[in-house]
Structure 1
Amino acid sequence: MLDDIDRLIGGGRHDGEAQLADLEDKVWASIGERHDRTRMGQVRVAAVALALVVGVTNGGFMLLSPRPEPSEMRVFTVSAGLSPLSGLDVRG
């Protein structure tokens, strides 16, 4: 096991500065990507919360609104069962 570690450490470039040249940029890029993902997650949560609030508010207003009086024209609705075709089980 130690031979593998010694080989990995000793292999490749011997210039430590050349190996670490892009490391800081890669770390900062990784941090930036993580911040962007976190920000997008927060935006998604905010959008879902806003949609939920709008839906609940709209539903609450619909419950509070006065119901319309039954119309005299309801005789002509399909659910009235007064269609001449209702006895024939014909659906339109």
Structure 2
Amino acid sequence: MSDDIDKMIGRDPPVGFDDLTGLEGRVWRRIGERRERMRMDRVRIAAVAAAVALGALNGGAVRLASPPEPSEMRVFTVASGLSPLTSLDARG
């Protein structure tokens, strides 16, 4: 049995065999890249949450603000109640 193992160890590596030198460095580099990506994802989520909160705060403040006073341009607004056909009771 040990003869088979000795023969297998003594043979040339198969074609496409990757050398394992530098494997640990490559693994740690990938771990670092993944951690960096996760950190950037957290920053993006925080930025989106801040934008949503700011938008909601701004929208609520505008909604609670007093309504604008009517402007002089209101004579050009569409008011169906002022149509001449309303008094004739002509409905389409």
Pairing of 1:1-92 with structure 2 (within 5 A): 12=13, 19-77=19-77, 79-80=78-79
Structure 1 residue 20 displacement after superposition: 2.8
Rate the CA distance shift 1:11–1:51 in 2: closer, same or farther, 3 A. Answer: farther
Structure 2 CA distance, aligned partners of 1:46 and 1:66?
Answer: 32
Displaced runs of 4 or more, over 2 A: 79-82
Percent of paired sites with the same residue: 52
Structure 2 CA distance, aligned partners of 1:66 and 1:52?
Answer: 23
TM-score between the two structures when normalised by the length of structure 1: 0.62
Larger radius of gyration: 2
Structure 1 CA distance, aligned partners of 2:36 and 2:47?
Answer: 16
Amino acid at match of 1:66: S
> Where do 5+ consecutive residues of structure 2 fail to align?
1-7, 83-92
TM-score between the two structures when normalised by the length of structure 2: 0.62
Structure 1 residue 72 displacement after superposition: 3.5
| CA offsets 1:33-72 (integer angstroms, 9 cap, x no match) | 1111101110110111011011101101011111112223
> Where do 5+ consecutive residues of structure 1 fail to align?
1-6, 83-92
Q: How many residues align?
A: 69
